[in-house]
Every structure is written in C-alpha cells, then in structure tokens.
C-alpha cells in the first residue's frame, strides 16, 4: 500500500472519530482518534528512520 492510501485511511479513521465524538460515542471516538494518531506517528517515524539511513550511507 503506498502512502496516499495510508493517508486516506488515516483521514477516514480520523473523520469517523470526529463523527463518533459529535454523536456522543466517546469510547468509540477515543479509539478512532488513538488509532489515527498511532498510524500517523508510526508512518512519520519510519520516514525519519529511512531518511536517517540514507543520510548515513551518503556521508
């Protein structure tokens, strides 16, 4: 799965969390927000690790 699909999926999960919060389903919305945050942070950490590996090889 490429980055565009992962970004779309993270956005959909975030929107579901927002909809759950508005409708009063606080437990579900908390789970959706948490999963969107974890997915986003994992992706950022992988990108940083990949860029660090590339910069280490180029030195």
| Predicted pLDDT at 47 | 74
- Give the pLDDT confidence of 1-53 residue by residue, as tens digits: 577 888 888 888 889 899 998 999 888 889 888 988 888 888 777 777 777 65
Whether 35 and 28 have beta carbons less than 8 Å apart is answered as no
In a domain, 16, yes or no: yes
The domain total for the chain is 1
In a domain, 25, yes or no: yes
56 has pLDDT over 70: no
In a domain, 59, yes or no: no
| Predicted pLDDT at 37 | 87
| Predicted pLDDT at 51 | 74
In a domain, 44, yes or no: yes
DSSP string spanning the chain?
A: --HHHHHHHHHHHHHHHHHHHHHT-HHHHHHHHHHHHHHHHHHHHHHHHHHHHHHHHH-
Question: By residue range, what is the domain housing residue 35?
Answer: 3-53
Q: What is the DSSP letter of 1?
A: -
pTM: 0.66
| Predicted pLDDT at 55 | 57
């Amino acid at each position: 799965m490429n980055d565009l699909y992962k970004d779309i999926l993270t956005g959909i999960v975030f929107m579901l969390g927002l909809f759950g919060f508005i409708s009063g389903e606080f437990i579900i919305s908390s789970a959706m927000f948490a999963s969107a945050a974890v997915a986003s942070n994992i992706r950022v950490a992988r990108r940083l690790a990949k860029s660090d590996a590339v910069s280490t090889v180029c030195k």
